[in-house]
A and B are shown apart, each in its own frame.
Chain A
């Protein structure tokens, strides 16, 4: 790889790391995990930099989506059953950010990733399905289940979520 390649990569990181950091945080809900996720995705981009002919950002985002779900698949065998957490979050925080943050933390990475792509990345169900390698019907059902869980976990978000969501 040439110096030009490295310069191009550095420019890309400087320009887009803030936006990518936000997505990484939303996907993981944890700063350390988000940092790991972003670094892993950028490492992937470095390894294939010369072959990324379209948008490096799209490549890195896609890498983050897959990496996040991949990590979840590796961890899920030790995860605690969600059923024990289905009660409302105690002592609701009046700060909307904290409430949403806490509620997202109670979702599975797959549910969380689907919501981030649909509500933050603003992808359609078809685009989300394609990005995650899922079927459209899976994206639909996952979205529906995720929002229902959010309403259960944080009733004060019901207005934001909407009854039909």
Chain B
């Protein structure tokens, strides 16, 4: 219930009010009010425009054609391709538990120690939840056709196990088991046709080295002893293997025989067999030349890099496009070990090839990278041919851009509202 104020107080208020003279009103009040109204309308229009620009800007960032803003998920390449830029995964990339991700174009061990496969048709990276994967740096290799990966399975506390995973079905197969000891697998390597898997391993004490091979279509793996210091291996379609020794030298091992020395000398190691089995692209360090082992002639072939191109690079062969053209990963010692893909031939002649910057590789993943060389197209003879595909990198997290755009729009509107109230 409301209470009426005291009558005397009301009279007192009226007496005070009545003693007040009428206040002067500016003659131009109407005009000023009219101008203020127009200014207010202008502010309203500006506010709408600011909102439109903000939203439009966000939309442009989200859907624009800028290569940084595009997402790889929008790109699909028929038949698949090797990405022109292979980079480490972001820390927040989700783990993929379904291993049937599809044909891969590249595989590597991320800087966080996770196995990663980039799928061939969309260029997307997948952090795989491989059974028995150990975070310690262990071996991972993608076959030349991109359909199978092999890795060292450390699910048991002891023993040595190698497993392959069919990336199209997700089916995994343990292709090698040695329950007696835990070997350190230095390298896994596929034959060009993806039939043979080879590895070099050493015992925990480092005193014994082993060369292992398995025909994955038939099973029956076998290992042979090697001199200590075996660090890398290449395997041919017929099961022959070339082993590189850390101290220098190459060993050749036929499928059913032990290894014999074929080359003595520092600076080269085993890389990748050509499909016809005649040549083996070799590793080399701090060099301006690529080296190839000719198995028929037992001869070391050289292909010096063209002048003013690469200098003092580490070379690791990734495979062969055909019987003549090998794909190398060259890491520039002066450039902080960032890598680039190079296509070249064993020697320099009238039909030789040398192309650099075929692709770029993040230095953090270069040492473990394997690619599906079968996805590289046949050369058409032109220097402008793109051998890799620009998928524009991994999908970009744009939620922060949207949030920033909305926040900017709100800030602009709040600012205009304040100005309107202050001066309107």
Q: Which residues of A contact B (CB under 8 A)?
A: 1, 6, 9-10, 13, 17-18, 20-26, 31, 34-35, 38-39, 42-47, 49, 96-97, 100-101, 104, 115-116, 118-120, 122, 124-126, 157, 159-162, 165
Count residues of chain B with CB under 8 A from any CB of chain A: 31
B25 near A39: Cβ-Cβ < 8 Å? yes
Minimum C-beta distance from A109 to chain B (A): 16
Give Cα A165–Cα B12 distance, bound, in whole angstroms. 15
Instruction: Say yes or no: A38-B2 contact (C-beta < 8 A), given A43-B33, A96-B12, A159-B8.
Output: no
Minimum C-beta distance from B250 to chain A (A): 84
Give Cα A17–Cα B2 distance, bound, in whole angstroms. 30
Minimum C-beta distance from A140 to chain B (A): 9
A42 near B16: Cβ-Cβ < 8 Å? no
* B136 contacts chain A at the CB level, 8 A cutoff: no
* B23 contacts chain A at the CB level, 8 A cutoff: yes
Instruction: Say yes or no: A21-B21 contact (C-beta < 8 A), given A47-B33, A47-B40.
Output: yes
* B256 contacts chain A at the CB level, 8 A cutoff: no
Residue of B nearest to A44 (CB): B33
B14 near A120: Cβ-Cβ < 8 Å? yes
| A and B contact pairs by CB, cutoff 8 A, 13 listed | A10-B30, A13-B25, A17-B25, A21-B22, A34-B23, A43-B36, A46-B34, A46-B36, A47-B33, A47-B36, A47-B40, A157-B9, A165-B6
Residue of A nearest to B22 (CB): A18
Minimum C-beta distance from A164 to chain B (A): 8
Which residues of B lie under 8 Å from residue A124 when comparing CB positions?
Answer: 2
Q: Which residues of B contact A (CB under 8 A)?
A: 2-3, 5-6, 8-10, 12-26, 29-30, 32-34, 36-37, 40, 424
Give Cα A100–Cα B11 distance, bound, in whole angstroms. 11
A120 near B40: Cβ-Cβ < 8 Å? no
A97 near B22: Cβ-Cβ < 8 Å? no
Minimum C-beta distance from A116 to chain B (A): 7
Which residues of B lie under 8 Å from residue A6 when comparing CB positions?
Answer: 30
Residue of A nearest to B13 (CB): A120
Instruction: Say yes or no: A160-B2 contact (C-beta < 8 A), given A25-B20, A38-B25, A46-B37.
Output: no
Minimum C-beta distance from B120 to chain A (A): 65
Give Cα A39–Cα B26 distance, bound, in whole angstroms. 8
Which residues of A lie under 8 Å from residue B40 when comparing CB positions?
Answer: 47
Minimum C-beta distance from B418 to chain A (A): 12
Give Cα A44–Cα B19 distance, bound, in whole angstroms. 27
Give Cα A122–Cα B9 distance, bound, in whole angstroms. 11
Which residues of A lie under 8 Å from residue B15 when comparing CB positions?
Answer: 96-97
Residue of B nearest to A163 (CB): B6
Give Cα A24–Cα B15 distance, bound, in whole angstroms. 14
Instruction: Say yes or no: A160-B20 contact (C-beta < 8 A), given A47-B36, A119-B5.
Output: no
Residue of A nearest to B23 (CB): A21
A22 near B17: Cβ-Cβ < 8 Å? yes
Minimum C-beta distance from A123 to chain B (A): 10
Supply 20 further A-B pairs (C-beta < 8 A) apart from A13-B29, A26-B17, A101-B16. Answer: A10-B30, A17-B22, A21-B22, A22-B17, A25-B23, A26-B13, A31-B23, A34-B20, A39-B25, A39-B29, A45-B33, A46-B36, A96-B15, A97-B19, A120-B14, A126-B2, A157-B9, A159-B8, A160-B6, A161-B9
